[in-house]
Structure 1
Amino acid sequence: MKQQKPGLGRMWNLYKKGGITPAVSSMFNNQNAQQMAFIRSVMKNQRKTSISEMQLNELEVVVFDLETTGFSPNQGDEIISIGAVLVEGTEIRTKKTFYTVTNPNRSIPDHIVKLTGITNEMALKGAQLIDALHQFLGFANKRVLLAHGTGHDKQFLNSALWKTSRIRLSHRVLDTVIIGKWLHPEVKTYDLDTLLNMYDIPITERHHALQDSLMTAQLWIKFLQKIMKKNIFTLGDLYAYLGK
C-alpha cells in the first residue's frame, strides 16, 4: 500500500506556521523554499541588537523606495520596482545601490506607466516578487531602513512578505517625513519635493525608486547634521525624541 502524500490543507498549515519542511518544499520549488527560509531568518534576527548605543555618525542605513501599481495592496496593487542605497554615517555609498523592476503579474495602469516610466513590457521581464524580496533583503541585511513616508512602503513590504513568506517586516525604520515634522514644525507640507528644495538638493528623476532613494539619502544627511547639533548622538535617543 502506497504511503499517502500530505494533503494540500496540511501543507498549507505547515507553511503558515513558518516551518520550512519537506512537505512545504514539495509544494513549492526548492528555490522558493530557500528564499523563504532566508527571508524569515533575516526578519527573525532584526531586533537582537540594542539600538540604545548605536552611534548616529556610524549608523548604517539603507534608504529605500518602492514604486507600485497603486496605493492599496489589499485592493490588488503590487510592487513594480524597489530601489535602495547604503548610507554609512554621513557618507552616501553611491557604488552600493540596489534596483530591480518587479513583475506585478497584473497590468500597470496608464497613469502609473506615465508617472514611473515602467511599462507593462518592462514589468513582464522583471523579477518575481519573492526573488526581488530575497535580493533586497540580502542588500539591506540587518541595517536600519529609512524612507520618505514609510506608511506606504511598509504596507506594501508587509503585504509582499506575508504573501511570499508568511512573515512581517521587523527592521527598525526611520521616516524622513516624521523627522522633518520634528525638525521643521513651521513647514506646511512635508512632501519630498518641498524638503529637497528647502535644503537645495537637486531634484533628478522623481518616481524612480533608485533616484528617489538617492535624493532621500541626501535629505537624511542634512537632517542628521541638524540632529547631531542638538546633541543627539545615538539612535535610541533619536527614537526617544521622535516619540515625544
Structure 2
Amino acid sequence: MKEPMKGNGGFWDAFKGGGISPRIASMLGAPSAQQIAFVRSLTKGQRRPETLHIPLSQLKTAVFDLETTGFHYHYGDEILSFGTVKVDGEEITGEVYYSLCKPACSVPEDIVKLTGITPEMAQDAPSLLQALREFMAFVDDRVLIAHGSAHDKAFLDVALWKTTKAHLGHRVLDTMMIAQKLEPDKKISSLDDWLNAYDLPILQRHHALEDAKMTAGLWKIMIGRLKDRGVITLGDLYSFLSKT
C-alpha cells in the first residue's frame, strides 16, 4: 500500500524540516492524551469575526472530502479516507493531504467497488485519531469547503467527538449550496453534474483527494461568479446564501 501523502509544502514540510515549534512537534509524536489535547486545541477559536471581512479572493481555505464506509454515522459507519487541498484566494496551491483511515467497522463490498479501498488497505491504515490529528494540523485555521458538506461535516464532527470529545469549530462552506444559489434554474446537486455545468473535467471520482481537487476547481470559478453578483467578502457570501 502506498504511504499516505502528508502534503507538499506548508505544515508538513516545516515539520520534516524542523521548523515546527517544540510544543507542536512533541504533541505530534506524543502519547494519546497529548494527541487528543492537540486536536482539541485545533477545533477552538476558528470563527473569528474578522474573518467575515476578508475578500473571497484572499480567503485561505481547505477544500476537503471524505470517503466513508456508508452514509449512516449514527448506525456505525466511519471515515475511510481524508483528502484535502489548500486554496489561497483563487489559487489552488498544490499543498495536499491524503490518508486512509482504519475504521472499527467492516468495509462493505459496495464501498470497495465505489472507492477501491479494500478491507486489507483499511486494516493497514493509520488509526482514526492519527489521521484526524494530521488532517486537523494540515487544515489549521482555514475555512473548510466541501461539496454536499452536510455528510462530510457530520462524519468529521462525530469522529472528533469520538476521539477527543470536541466538536468541529471551523466555518464550513458548501459548493453545492453556493452553486444552487448562483444558478437556481439548474436543478442539479451532484459533484459530477456541477463539474459538467462548469465545463470542468471529471477525473477520478470517489477518491477523497481527487474529489477535493475537483471541488477546489468549482470553488475557484465560483469566486469570480460571486464577485459579479457583488459578493466580495465571506460576510457577503453568508448574506447572499441567507436570502430567500
TM-score bracket for this pair, using the shorter chain length: 0.7 to 0.9
Is residue 2:88 matched to residue 1:85? no
Question: What's the C-alpha RMSD, in Å, of the aligned pairs?
Answer: 1.2
- 1:52 Cα shift? 2.5
Counterpart residue number, 1:193? 192
Counterpart residue number, 1:48? 48
**Distance in 2 between residues matched to 1:48 and 1:60, nearest whole Å:** 13
Counterpart residue number, 1:108? 107
Report the TM-score when normalising by structure 2: 0.86
1:35-184 paired onto structure 2 within 5 Å: 35-94=35-94, 96-184=95-183
- 1:45 Cα shift? 2.1
- 1:40 Cα shift? 1.1
Higher Cα radius of gyration: 1
Q: Does the residue aligned with 1:56 lie in a helix, a strand or coil?
A: coil
**Distance in 2 between residues matched to 1:73 and 1:148, nearest whole Å:** 18
Cα deviation 1:13-69 (Å, max 9, x = unaligned): xxxxxxxxxxxxxxxxx5211111111111112123523211111111100000000
Counterpart residue number, 1:223? 222
**Distance in 1 between residues matched to 2:213 and 2:82, nearest whole Å:** 12
Give the fraction of aligned pairs with identical amino acids, expressed as a percent: 50
Q: Does the residue aligned with 1:67 lie in a helix, a strand or coil?
A: strand
Report the TM-score when normalising by structure 1: 0.86
Gaps of 5+ in 2: 1-29
Q: Which runs of 4+ in 1 moved over 4 A?
A: none
Gaps of 5+ in 1: 1-29
Q: Does the residue aligned with 1:82 lie in a helix, a strand or coil?
A: strand
Cα deviation 1:110-142 (Å, max 9, x = unaligned): 000000000001001111001111000000000
Q: How many residues align?
A: 215
Cα deviation 1:122-166 (Å, max 9, x = unaligned): 001111001111000000000000000011001101110000011
Cα deviation 1:162-186 (Å, max 9, x = unaligned): 0001111110010011101100100
Q: Does the residue aligned with 1:206 lie in a helix, a strand or coil?
A: coil
Q: Does the residue aligned with 1:52 lie in a helix, a strand or coil?
A: helix
CA contact (8 A) 1:105 1:124 kept: no
Cα deviation 1:53-104 (Å, max 9, x = unaligned): 111111111000000000111101010000000011111012x000000000
**Distance in 1 between residues matched to 2:206 and 2:98, nearest whole Å:** 13
**Distance in 2 between residues matched to 1:49 and 1:106, nearest whole Å:** 39
